[in-house]
Structure 1
Amino acid sequence: MQRRTFLTIPLIASALITDGQRTNKANPKKGFKVEKGRGRNVEQMKVLGSTFDCKVSGKDTNGQLCIFDTTREGQTSPPLHLHHNQDEWFYVIKGEFKVQVGDEVLILREGDSAFAPRKIPHTFAKTSEGVGQMMIIFQPAGKMEEFFIERVNLESEKDPLKKEAALKTLWDRHGMKVVNEPKKV
């Protein structure tokens, strides 16, 4: 056996074992149920007329993904933003939404979905009357649960300048960048 091969094999084996150990940590030991109107590891979160329930936590998947069920009553939307390290997938359960991904605006109705790749600016807004509902998946999970918890806590800030500065810091700290302020898509 050549010296180079002899030295390379342990390095490759070590990488495979490490990767396998990381993957095995993500496999839950048993299934779980999350009831309607409940969150997995956190209570239901409400912000700007929207409710967020974490159905599958990043803690459940070793950070590989997280899933939120969001119910929206108003026509508010997040600002046009991007995630540096996460893809985002939207699936409409109830109502109609406009989803902007890059320069493209997509109309989503019940059963439709849209994919927003990482580093591509995106936003969405409910356009139908009444309550709208979507499932949103972030892959990998990143810090989205923490983001929503902290975002809810910022609702109590009364000073608009402090709130604006805190929001910018919040987005940055959780791996996102706001491209511009909310507007109807």
Structure 2
Amino acid sequence: MTLTESFIVRRDAGEPGPWQVLAGGARTAGSVMFGEARLPARSTGPGLHIHTREDEAAYVISGVLTFVVGDRRFEASAGELVWLPRQVPHTFANLGDEPVWAFGVTTPAGLEGMFEDQRAYFAGLQGAPDPDRIREIGARYGVRSLGPPISLE
């Protein structure tokens, strides 16, 4: 890896799914993970969950994301940052008619392993995903599932 490669990351347009890790612990000495989410109009995010090991922040670049953080439900528009502390239940969804683009930061790094494991599971999947298998993958990284995603209704 050249010095430039260690500092510049470009999104792989062919990457499946709404979340892409831009730089994880291997590039940040384990201190932080950077990523982005692109959610089409009227699409759910993850089920309600908590992180036991890391804090997150989501900065909305375009569109409007609906969040549930703890016992609060609210919308965050372009230019707004949402703090998602560890041990606090949270989820999000794009309930609007426009796509959403958001930038995420997770500290410390390490959660990128969960996304890699999920991607590998989905790549070999035939049929519907097994919710227990998805929970199992998350649990290995300290992510605990608590409930369903935000309803699109």
Under TM normalisation by the shorter chain, which class is it? 0.7 to 0.9
Q: How does 1:32-181 map to 2 (within 5 A)?
A: 32-35=7-10, 37-38=11-12, 45-47=15-17, 50=18, 52-74=19-41, 75-142=43-110, 144-155=111-122, 156-158=124-126, 160=128, 163-181=130-148
Alpha-carbon distance in 2 for matches of 1:53, 1:169: 21
Gap runs ≥5 in structure 1: 1-28
Q: CA deviation at 1:169?
A: 0.8
Q: Which has the higher strand share?
A: 2
CA contact (8 A) 1:45 1:152 kept: no
CA contact (8 A) 2:22 2:35 kept: yes
- Counting aligned pairs with the same residue, the percent is 24
Q: What's the TM-score once normalised by structure 1's chain length?
A: 0.71
Alpha-carbon distance in 2 for matches of 1:45, 1:151: 13
Mark the CA change 1:60 to 1:44 in structure 2 (over 3 Å): closer, same or farther. Answer: farther
Higher RCO (CA 8 Å, separation ≥ 6 residues): 2
Aligned residues: 147
Mark the CA change 1:100 to 1:125 in structure 2 (over 3 Å): closer, same or farther. Answer: same
Look up the SS of the partner of 2:121 in the other structure.
helix
Q: Which has the higher helix share?
A: 1
Superposed CA RMSD in Å reads 2.2
Alpha-carbon distance in 1 for matches of 2:86, 2:96: 27
